[in-house]
């Protein structure tokens, strides 16, 4: 019973850490200026990367930013520090980007901008291996997003939103739209679509029922949700707006030329959250060891021993990540003084 309670407690703390994660920077691709901008939560704007032809942007789970470069046919990868490398090349006109749960990158490619029906969605494994996921699409635009079940949604200037099952089977999720662009899911599974032609942002329930979430925009393009559940939308005429869950609109940033792709940086929990997570994990795993009689793993007792020694438990990992060697040793010392044996709890 104690083991179950301990594991449940860990899940609850992880969820709390996610909800209270530090605010995220918003990254914006400006196709006309050839830049990717970073907008910090404090409102500071800076050029993260330049000399590009950027459309779609997306982050992987480790915080690297990927950019679909329409002009060069490349997919560029940027480290958090801004160092650029070519992840993939030889594409025609890449526009949309999305990662699935396994870390594969999906890229929508217009194919031939002068003729419909040549659109393709490619799948790139983490090592860069490319395969065709879907082909023969009318005219892909910016929107490419996964739902929680692993289905992929693609916006198409034919007025459709296509849904692809994990095996690539295509169906029409919505039609009759006016040049759909950006797509984004909220936390409860509703799909939002930036409808460039009508100036609306539509909300689709999981069953496909459509309603108007916002109207009166001048060519909405990119969409992205932050960790607090607010929706951000880029407008083709210079602006980025923020929408509260109830639809209240406010101006977030302006002065762009063609802000298209939007992506929020991966949020990171604070050091305090990591320490708190480690403390709860310790209690849970101690309970588990008492209940199950698990074999303990040795832990280093010196600050100078390898950090890898502490990888056997969430507690040791959290203590190490929270503040480097000093915080690491302090947490280990506190743990031992609390009556624990000089061992890491079992994994």
Percent of all residues in the chain with a pLDDT value above 90, rounded to a whole number? 66
CA dist 118 and 107 (Å) reads: 14
Average model confidence (pLDDT) for the chain?
Answer: 80
> Given this structure, which CATH class describes domain 24-264?
mainly beta
Query: How would you classify the pairing of strands 220-225 and 119-124?
Result: unpaired
Q: Which residues contact 259 (CB under 8 A, 6 or more apart)?
A: 28, 29, 30, 221, 222, 234, 235, 236, 238, 239, 240
Q: What is the pLDDT of residue 25?
A: 96
Q: What is the pLDDT of residue 266?
A: 83
pLDDT in tens, 130-165: 999 999 999 999 999 999 999 999 999 999 999 999
Percent of all residues in the chain with a pLDDT value above 70, rounded to a whole number? 71
pLDDT in tens, 55-100: 999 999 999 999 999 999 999 999 999 999 999 999 999 999 999 9
- The residue among 265 and 338 whose pLDDT is bigger is 265
In this structure, the chain runs to a length of 347
Pair 63, 39: CB distance under 8 Å: no
What residues does each domain of the chain span?
A: 2-13+269-344, 24-264
Q: What is the pLDDT of residue 167?
A: 95
Mean pLDDT, residues 22-51 taken together: 93
Q: Of 252, 254, 230, nearest to 243 (Cα)?
A: 230
């Amino acid at each position: 019973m104690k083991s179950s309670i301990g594991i449940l407690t860990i899940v609850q703390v992880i969820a709390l850490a996610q909800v209270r994660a530090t605010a995220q920077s918003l990254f914006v691709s400006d196709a006309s200026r050839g830049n990717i901008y970073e907008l910090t939560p404090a409102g500071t704007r800076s050029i993260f990367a330049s000399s590009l032809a950027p459309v779609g942007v997306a982050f992987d789970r480790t915080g690297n930013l990927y950019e679909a470069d329409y002009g060069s046919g490349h997919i560029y990868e940027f480290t958090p520090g801004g160092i650029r490398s070519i992840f993939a090349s030889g594409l025609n006109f890449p526009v949309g980007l999305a990662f699935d749960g396994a870390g594969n990158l999906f890229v929508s490619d217009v194919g031939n901008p002068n003729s419909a029906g040549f659109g393709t969605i490619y799948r790139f494994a983490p090592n860069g291996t490319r395969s065709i996921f879907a082909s023969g699409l009318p005219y892909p635009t910016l929107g490419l997003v996964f739902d929680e079940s692993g289905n992929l949604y693609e916006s198409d200037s034919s007025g459709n939103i296509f849904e692809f099952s994990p095996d690539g089977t295509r169906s029409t999720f919505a039609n009759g739209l006016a040049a759909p662009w950006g797509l984004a899911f909220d936390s409860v599974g509703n799909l939002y679509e930036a409808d460039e032609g009508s100036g609306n942002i539509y909300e689709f329930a999981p069953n496909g029922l459509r309603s108007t979430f916002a109207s009166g925009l001048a060519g909405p393009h990119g969409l992205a949700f932050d960790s607090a559940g607010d929706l951000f939308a880029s407008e083709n005429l210079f602006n980025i707006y923020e929408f509260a869950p109830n639809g209240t609109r406010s101006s977030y940033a302006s002065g762009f030329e063609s802000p298209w792709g939007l992506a929020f940086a991966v949020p990171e929990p604070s050091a305090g959250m990591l320490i708190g997570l480690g403390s709860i994990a310790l209690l849970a795993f101690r309970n588990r060891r008492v209940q199950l009689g698990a074999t303990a793993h040795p832990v280093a007792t010196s600050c100078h021993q390898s950090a890898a020694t502490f990888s056997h438990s969430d507690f040791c990992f959290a203590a190490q990540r929270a503040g480097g060697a000093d915080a690491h040793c302090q947490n280990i010392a506190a743990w031992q003084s609390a009556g624990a044996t000089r061992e890491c709890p079992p994994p």
